């Protein structure tokens, strides 16, 4: 299928084209403001579906709103009519089309033009009134609060929040792209005359800032967001895409002694903690037990033995472990346990605990195995 995408280098266009290519749509006509205008005529002749994403939202002169959002739409539709091309046409509008401002008026004019075109030609038209769209590749300090907050907070730059109680309606770029591809395949989510992205997140502006600030701080306290929260998961992915390119990595605090090291990697408020333990050859670590805290050990390099003893028994259990075999060993409550490096090299163990370490309530009691 031959697909024309206007606004191809814009936020939505760039994400859409990337996913179209992922799905093996190879004949994509990419049209943007720096494309030779003569190509619009050629593309309009051959296109079998049009994603009209080009638009103006921050012009120098207000008159450019109508020129960019209505005038170019008119040029596109006239080119399609010239070749009697009645392929489906999707247009990117805005919820501001309902408002009385120059931007909203220009978007409403573009919508009306497309509806009239559909009536005149019989072409299938799809009008999407998008709320605020967020995600990777959105330009910061332009017209997206989320992009600006992510970019600036990641760089310790100031942000401005006039009213944290403002309620925001947001759609995530991947959800937008999925819906647009559904439309391409004839499965659009239509509500009366308009089409909509099914998943809309409603959240206070101040809560967005608090979440992004939490993401920034997570490198220090190692707590990661609740990934079962759909919005937090999407916002965290967005935030990471705005990290400075020389700051993708960050250090962890290694607790080092003559026995090796112990390093906390990830903490969560509800799913526990992951740490990395390194033991030198011949070293035994542990010799303690827990009431409620439980753990999982996974040796990924080296070889050793994990020993257990029920605190009311003299019987010692041994589980031999090695990086040559990925095997998880559960550490049950009520059993004192230790881990010994039996090899000649460092032994590396990934350790998960069901709760983040609390120095006020460690639930850890020394007892030799």
Q: Give the catalytic positions in this structure.
A: 103
Q: How far is 332 from 78, CA to CA, in rounded Å? A: 73
CA atoms within 13 A on the CB side of 89: 29
Q: How far apart are CA 291 and CA 362, in angstroms?
A: 10
Start-to-end CA distance of the chain, whole Å, equals: 68
Q: How far apart are CA 351 and CA 369, in angstroms?
A: 19
DSSP three-state, residue 296: strand
Alpha helix stretches (DSSP H) within 47-101: 63-66, 72-82
Q: Which has the closest alpha carbon to 358: 272, 251, 263?
A: 272
Pick from 163, 166, 161, 137: which is nearest to 149 by CA? 161
Cα 228–chain centre separation:
13
* Residues 316/307, Cβ–Cβ less than 8 Å: yes
Which is nearest to 149 in space by CA: 250, 11, 242?
242
User: Which residue has tokens 């605020």?
Assistant: 132
51, two tokens: 């994603």
Bridge partners (DSSP) of residue 279 are: 260, 347
Phi, psi of 109 (to 5 degrees): -65, -40
Task: Say if CB 173 and CB 146 are below 8 A apart.
Answer: no
Q: How many CA atoms lie within 13 A of 23 on its CB side?
A: 16
Six token digits for residue 194: 């308009």
336 φ/ψ sector (left φ>0, alpha ψ -120 to 50, else beta): beta
């Amino acid at each position: 299928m031959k697909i024309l995408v206007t606004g191809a280098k814009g936020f939505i266009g760039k994400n859409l084209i990337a996913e179209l290519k992922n799905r093996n749509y190879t004949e994509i006509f990419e049209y943007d403001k720096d494309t030779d205008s003569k190509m619009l005529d050629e593309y309009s002749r051959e296109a079998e579906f049009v994603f009209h994403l080009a638009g103006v939202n921050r012009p120098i002169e207000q008159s450019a709103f109508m020129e960019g959002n209505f005038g170019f739409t008119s040029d596109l539709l006239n080119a399609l009519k010239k070749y009697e091309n009645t392929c489906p046409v999707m247009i990117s509008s805005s919820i501001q089309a309902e408002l009385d401002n120059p931007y909203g008026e220009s978007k409403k004019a573009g919508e009306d033009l497309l509806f009239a075109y559909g009536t005149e030609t019989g072409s299938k038209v799809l009008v999407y009134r998008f709320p605020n769209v967020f995600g990777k590749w959105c330009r910061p300090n332009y017209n997206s609060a989320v992009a600006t907050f992510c970019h600036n907070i990641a760089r310790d730059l100031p942000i401005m929040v006039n009213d944290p109680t403002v309620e925001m309606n947001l759609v995530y770029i991947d959800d937008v792209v999925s819906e647009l591809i559904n439309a391409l395949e004839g499965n659009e989510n239509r509500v009366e005359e308009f089409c909509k992205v099914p998943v809309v997140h409603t959240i206070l502006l101040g809560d967005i800032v608090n979440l992004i600030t939490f993401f920034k701080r997570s490198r220090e306290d190692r707590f990661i967001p609740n990934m079962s929260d759909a919005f937090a998961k999407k916002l965290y992915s967005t935030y990471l895409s705005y990290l400075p390119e020389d700051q993708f990595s960050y250090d962890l605090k290694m607790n080092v002694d003559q026995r090796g090291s112990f390093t906390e990697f990830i903490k969560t408020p509800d799913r526990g903690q992951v740490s990395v333990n390194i033991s030198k050859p011949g070293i035994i670590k542990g010799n303690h037990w827990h009431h409620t805290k439980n753990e999982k050990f996974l040796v990924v390099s080296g070889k050793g033995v994990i020993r257990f003893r029920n605190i009311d028994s003299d019987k010692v259990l041994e589980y031999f472990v090695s990086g040559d075999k990925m095997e998880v060993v559960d550490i049950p409550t009520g059993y004192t346990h230790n881990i010994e490096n039996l090899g000649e090299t460092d032994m590396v163990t990934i350790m998960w605990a069901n709760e983040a370490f609390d120095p006020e309530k460690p639930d850890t009691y020394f007892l030799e195995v």
